[in-house]
A and B are shown apart, each in its own frame.
Chain A
């Protein structure tokens, strides 16, 4: 059982480039979310989805887009990368809502130069 899979593990971008961080889960979870982790900041929610076709913004959505065409996949798009988006990004999923434990991927470490 793979759980939550994120690709790539590492990425370096130049300012202004765009890219997509991939996230896939094989647990048939309805809820999926993207967080960014910065030193001393904990995790901050970027976007989340409560099911296929439904997405919403979290705490820090600016500069990021998401879509949810299937239950399994929840990609995160950086439209025009900025150095402030240098961070570690985590995708998480859960079975049935906010009080169920989150299952995290192993993260994508992104550097924007």
Chain B
């Protein structure tokens, strides 16, 4: 079985300070991992994905994530937060080569950015 845990339901930062959104996963096999962002009243948009290539993955809008197998983590970071980064972020795990139905979403982390 696979699962994904987002360790914080809410994260608050000031504009210009670093962002860290934490995600841990469990999977019996080699996982693919994704981060999606959801702005208010919108659908989810892909930020970045890891599929067993480089462990440091760069995404859109200055975000990046590092896959650490030993820690079963895939934390999302950004060096400097912008007001437009305020949104909900979802970590997603899937099994390589498995059926379409086995995408598992985390419960989400709401990022709040203050001026």
Contacts and interface: CB of A to CB of B under 8 A. Distances in A.
Contact of A98 (B9, B43, B100, B107): B100
Contact of A102 (B44, B99, B101): B44
B43 A56 contact: no
A38 B13 CA distance: 25
A98 B102 contact: yes
Nearest to B34: A101
A53 interface: no
A58 B43 contact: no
A44 to B, nearest CB: 7
A60 B16 CA distance: 41
A22 B103 CA distance: 22
Given A50-B100, A58-B101, A42 B90 contact: yes
A31 interface: yes
Contact of B94 (A42, A44, A48, A98): A98
Given A42-B107, A90-B43, A99 B101 contact: no
Contacts of A4: 43
A31 B42 CA distance: 21
Interface residues of B: mostly helix, strand, loop or mixed?
loop
Classify chain A: how many residues form its interface, as a range.
20 to 34
Interface stretch (A13-21, A64-72, A104-112): A104-112
A12 interface: no
Contacts of B61: none
Given A40-B9, A42-B106, A101 B101 contact: no
B3 to A, nearest CB: 11
29 contacts: A31-B100, A33-B100, A35-B105, A41-B107, A42-B90, A42-B105, A42-B107, A43-B44, A44-B105, A50-B100, A56-B101, A59-B101, A97-B100, A98-B94, A98-B100, A98-B102, A99-B49, A99-B94, A99-B96, A101-B46, A102-B44, A104-B43, A104-B45, A105-B43, A106-B41, A106-B42, A106-B43, A107-B42, A107-B43
- Enumerate the 9 nearest inter-chain pairs by beta-carbon distance, A residue then B residue, closest first: A104-B43, A42-B105, A101-B46, A43-B105, A42-B107, A104-B44, A99-B32, A98-B94, A106-B43
